[in-house]
Amino acid sequence: MSHPSVHARTDPAKPALIVAETGEAISFAELDHRSNRAAQLFRARGLKAGDTIALCLENTPEFYDIAWGAQRAGLFFVCISTKLTAPEIDYILRDSGAALVVASASLGAAVSAAGVDIARFVIGGALAGWEAWEPAVAAMPDTPIADERAGIDMLYSSGTTGRPKGVRVALPEDPDIAGATVLEMLARGLYGLGPDSLYLSPAPLYHAAPLRWSMTVQRLGGTVVMMEHFDPERALAAIERYHINASQWVPTHFVRMLKLDDATRARYDLSSLRVAIHAAAPCPVPVKEAMIAWWGPVLYEYYAGSEGNGLTTIASPEWLTHKGSVGKAAYGVLHICDEHGEDLPPGAEGLVYFEGGGAFEYHNDPAKTAEARNARGWSTLGDIGRMDADGYLYLTDRKSFMIISGGVNIYPQEIENRLITHPRVADVAVIGGPCPEMGERVVAVVQPVDMAEAGEALAAELTAWCRAELSGVKTPRQIDFAAELPRHATGKLYKRLLRDRYWGETGSKIV
């Protein structure tokens, strides 16, 4: 059995959480009390096991109070990106069926504008029509609710239609809040995480990996050191200050740390670091080579999705002999299949499937759920790859030309749907162009109604048009113009032809 409540009994004074920038520490005993009060509040407001709540918070200690409170109350908890606009938040709240939302005061305006009529709690300030979280939860008992039952997260990732889709798995079969999880077993077996872990989490908690891995560290009795905001030098300083021995990253973090000057990089003692896990986006081979040369063979990469249907993993020594690989299957059986779902031989490219991994469904989207499975019941995230004769996976393409910028998945169609509604746009394609720092940047290729209007003024107008409805990460960083887009007579867009132009030669152009 492992759970913060267990460690609250066996080692109550030990820090479960430290805020990297301030040094504020929350002990396991305090986390236990705070999460109990959150669970008590959820019950007091009529929420029962199987109901759904939502969080829209920056990285703050209360994030863990609420997440663990929901976990103890048998709830689904939806973690909403702080970068989303009101229409995007509105969609997620409605689609998820959330009965209650907790938001930071700085984000409450966007949630208020969403217009969903549900219970609302605000943290860190006052908002008209919102109840303050702090006094409400302080009035609750700090003892466990009578009907504890294990809950689980429900995270949203965009679908091929552009609308975000909730990845929903069933509540754990074992209702025990301290029941073993797959991730817990992987964390122990693959990375040696446990009570001695001092784990740096530099990324936003609304993402799957930071949320799930940091909560897993707390399950195991380790201490999470949470950064409020990522900064490359402050991350190095945190490793030294807190003697960090485990951590989680995305390739953009590596790029930004590598761009620090040599004197700054050499200033910090990183010798305590034993495990540096990274995922979320492909890591360029030169970047990973440089990181291993700097930090040593402590990098561990994995490939997985929010769906939890399978996982591959690879350690530094293996990677150095299989450069570019994301590893061998550690959860589920890996298959590379053709368009008919049949196995392909080693070296052949096809859809990446997992057999026997975790089951999932896309909330309110049975069609997309069915599309993710073949006739054998194996599931895919839609990625293209190849597997060598030794079983190592190499990803060679992205599902539906998904853009990954700084570890964030961005789906073009949502942006295209916004741009095509502009009265001066006749056709549009959104692709990922190369970006040295973020991996990819969002590029929109627009066919204007009148090609004579193509230019900087129209590009600025279209950028503002996107910003009015879309979050900043989805707003194109570059808008180029074309007299005609490469479409087949059937209407199919040959997006690869556009993408190849940008990856063959960069720079804005009117064509």
- Position 36 scores a pLDDT of 98
Q: What are the pLDDT digits (tens) for 62-109?
A: 999 999 999 999 999 999 999 888 998 999 999 999 999 999 999 988
Q: How far apart are CA 308 and CA 118, in angstroms?
A: 29
Cα-based distances in Å from 502 to 53, 69, 123, 402, 505: 42, 47, 44, 15, 5
Task: Specify if 286 maps to a domain.
Answer: no
Residue 417 in this model has a pLDDT that exceeds 90? no
Query: Is residue 411 very low, low, confident or very high in pLDDT (cuts 50, 70, 90)?
Result: confident
- 385 shares a domain with 324: yes
- 435 shares a domain with 393: no
Question: Left, alpha or beta for 241 (phi > 0: left; psi -120 to 50: alpha)?
Answer: alpha
- Position 491 scores a pLDDT of 46
Query: Is residue 157 very low, low, confident or very high in pLDDT (cuts 50, 70, 90)?
Result: confident
- 106 shares a domain with 43: yes
Residue 401 in this model has a pLDDT that exceeds 80? no
Question: Left, alpha or beta for 68 (phi > 0: left; psi -120 to 50: alpha)?
Answer: alpha
Sign of CA dihedral 346, 348, 349, 354: negative
Structural domain boundaries enclosing 356: 304-397
Q: How far apart are CA 217 and CA 205, in angstroms?
A: 14
CATH of the domain at 371: 2.30.38.10
Q: What mean pLDDT value characterizes the chain? A: 91
Kind and range of the H or E run holding 409: strand 408-410
Q: What are the pLDDT digits (tens) for 466-503?
A: 999 999 999 999 999 999 988 644 345 667 788 888 88
Residue 155 in this model has a pLDDT that exceeds 60? yes
- Position 497 scores a pLDDT of 81
Choice between 272 and 503, residue whose per-residue pLDDT is larger? 272
Please give the average per-residue pLDDT across 359-386, as a whole number.
92
Q: How far apart are CA 161 and CA 175, in angstroms?
A: 35
Please give the average per-residue pLDDT across 139-163, as a whole number.
84
Q: What are the pLDDT digits (tens) for 231-270?
A: 999 999 999 999 999 999 988 898 889 889 999 999 999 9
Query: Is residue 413 very low, low, confident or very high in pLDDT (cuts 50, 70, 90)?
Result: confident
Task: Specify if 131 maps to a domain.
Answer: yes
Share of the chain above pLDDT 70, in %: 95
- 385 shares a domain with 318: yes
- Position 160 scores a pLDDT of 32
Q: What are the pLDDT digits (tens) for 110-133?
A: 998 887 889 999 999 999 999 999
Strands of the 328-331 sheet, one edge to the other: 25-27, 15-19, 223-226, 198-201, 246-249, 275-278, 299-303, 311-315, 328-331
Residue 509 in this model has a pLDDT that exceeds 80? no
Task: Specify if 2 maps to a domain.
Answer: no
- Position 492 scores a pLDDT of 53
Query: Is residue 384 very low, low, confident or very high in pLDDT (cuts 50, 70, 90)?
Result: confident
Residue 162 in this model has a pLDDT that exceeds 60? no
Task: Specify if 264 maps to a domain.
Answer: no
* Residue where a domain stops, chosen among 378, 397, 416: 397
Q: Decide the pairing of beta strands 408-410 and 403-405.
A: antiparallel
Q: Which tokens is 324 given?
A: 């570019």
- Position 399 scores a pLDDT of 61
Least confident of 5-19, 267-281, 327-341, 387-401: 387-401
For the chain, the domain total comes to 3
- 326 shares a domain with 444: no
- 103 shares a domain with 58: yes
Task: Specify if 265 maps to a domain.
Answer: no
Task: Specify if 351 maps to a domain.
Answer: yes
Residue 283 in this model has a pLDDT that exceeds 90? no
* Residue where a domain stops, chosen among 146, 177, 208: 177
Which residue's structure tokens are 């190369």? 434
CATH of the domain at 52: 3.40.50.980
CATH of the domain at 440: 3.30.300.30
Q: What are the pLDDT digits (tens) for 431-444?
A: 999 998 888 999 99
What value does the CA radius of gyration of the chain take, rounded to a whole number of Å? 23
- 97 shares a domain with 45: yes
Task: Specify if 267 maps to a domain.
Answer: no
* Residue where a domain stops, chosen among 149, 177, 205: 177
- 157 shares a domain with 98: yes
- Position 74 scores a pLDDT of 98
Share of the chain above pLDDT 90, in %: 75
- 479 shares a domain with 371: no
- Position 416 scores a pLDDT of 85
Q: Are 463 and 479 in contact (CB under 8 A)?
A: yes
**172 DSSP 8-state letter:** P
Could you tell me which of 24, 35, 104 has the C-alpha nearest to residue 73? 35
Helix 182-191 with 208-219: angle, nearest 10 deg = 80
Least confident of 13-17, 33-37, 198-202, 421-425: 421-425
Q: What are the pLDDT digits (tens) for 293-310?
A: 999 999 999 999 889 999
**77 DSSP 8-state letter:** E
- 59 shares a domain with 168: yes
Q: What are phi and psi of 284, to 5 degrees?
A: -55, 140
